[in-house]
Amino acid sequence: MNYGPLVFLAAFLALSGSWVGFVVAPNFQLSTLQETNTIGAGVTYPLGRPGLAQQGLQVYRANGCVSCHSQMVVQERTMCEVSLTDFGTNFVAVESALRGINSNYNAQVINELKKSLPKTIVFDTTKQKADATVKLINQAGAKAQVVVTPSGSDIARGWGRRRSVAEDYLYDDPVMLGGLRVGPDLANLGSRLPDVNWHLRHLYAPQTEIANSTMPPYRFLFETRKIGSVPVAEPLNLPSGLVPTGYEVVPKPEAVALAQYLVSLRADVQLYSTPFSTPPAASGSGSGISSNAPAVK
Ligand code: HEC
């Protein structure tokens, strides 16, 4: 029997199937991606990186930083908490509402609670249960609000406030996702380390900034010059002993661009696809914006 047509058909289906899966479907999902609105602030996100930071992306790429650093925060789930912001005047009604939520609330605990508002009264629950609790509290004449917090091990490490989404990379070419994490994730680096000079010193000699750092130094991005030879340069403020006396270390333009790129890595705004809310301020002003956040699964 002639199997030719059958083999052809099988190969055709396998190849066209993977083409649809890997090319057509992602193109359909992502090609129309645009700047989007942020929750609360209402500004558009992302705005392109400034020129120098854009050049810094190429320095990042050329020096293989991506082989040790990823740029994607993974979020495992969202947690909802209920924060009591205002006790109101009806002590008895609020007390019985609180007891309905948690049988451990006795008069003494409630009195303590009343003095230290805002206070989280329900931890790690679902959106439905949190909403129901808020309703119960509000009916008793007090005020409470839902606080939505993304959680997961990357977020616990302080690498980001929310998961990374495709919009975060809209203006990056190429996207430096990375796959290996020898060093920390850098997706939201600019929020935790916004000082350009810190990055320059860290690139020149990582151990001056992080004790026992195993990150390789990038000294070829700097020049060691005799002091006074070029008066315009701004030298790095390094600990003594690293540079011979009479000399100074000056970042080359590549190092400056790279540092600008590093501080431009910020993915900390709240989007409709990644809601989180700001916990109420200690003054009890209730600055949380969770009521704007869409329902969370
Ligand atoms: C061989 C692996 C390796 C390479 C390559 C590497 N790093 Fe690192 N990096 C690390 C390690 C490990 C740390 C954690 C220790 C530290 O902070 O110095 C780190 C930390 C950092 C930090 C501090 C992050 C934080 O949250 O504290 C920055 C910024 C950074 N690296 C940038 C870079 C840049 C830019 C490049 C490329 C020029 C680069 N790294 C290349 C391993 C690497």
pLDDT value at 295 more than 50? no
pLDDT value at 294 more than 70? no
The finding on whether 183 has its CB within 6 A of some atom of ligand 1 is: yes
Give the span between the Cα atoms of 59 and 261, in whole angstroms: 9
Name the CA dihedral angle for 200, 203, 204, 210, rounded to a multiple of 10 degrees. Answer: 100
The residue with tokens 């199997």 is 3
Give the span between the Cα atoms of 33 and 168, in whole angstroms: 11
Q: Centre a 10 Å sphere on the Cβ of residue 240 and count the other Cβ atoms it contains.
A: 6
- pLDDT tens, residue by residue, 60-104: 999 999 999 999 999 998 889 999 988 888 888 888 888 888 888
* Cα(183) to centroid(ligand 1), Å: 5
* Cα(207) to centroid(ligand 1), Å: 11
The closest alpha carbon to 218, from 71, 59, 70, 67, belongs to: 59
Instruction: Identify the residue with better confidence: 256 or 121.
Output: 256
The finding on whether 206 has its CB within 6 A of some atom of ligand 1 is: yes
* Cα(60) to centroid(ligand 1), Å: 11
- pLDDT tens, residue by residue, 4-18: 999 999 999 999 999
- pLDDT tens, residue by residue, 256-271: 999 999 999 998 888 8
- pLDDT tens, residue by residue, 48-72: 899 999 999 999 999 999 999 999 9
Give the span between the Cα atoms of 256 and 222, in whole angstroms: 10
Which ligand 1 atom sits closest to the C-alpha of 65?
37
Smallest CA separation from ligand 1 atom 41, residue: 65
Q: What is the overall mean pLDDT for the chain?
A: 87
Cis peptide before 118 (omega within 30 of 0): yes
Q: Which of 67, 68, 268 for a ligand 1 pocket mutation test, highest count of atoms within 8 Å of Cβ?
A: 68
pLDDT value at 288 more than 50? no
Give the span between the Cα atoms of 297 and 295, in whole angstroms: 7
Q: Which amino acid is at 230?
A: V
Q: What pLDDT is stored for residue 231 in this prediction?
A: 67
The finding on whether 184 has its CB within 6 A of some atom of ligand 1 is: yes
Joined together, the tokens standing for residue 255 give 């190092």
Provide the terminal-to-terminal Cα distance of the chain, rounded to the nearest Å.
Answer: 55
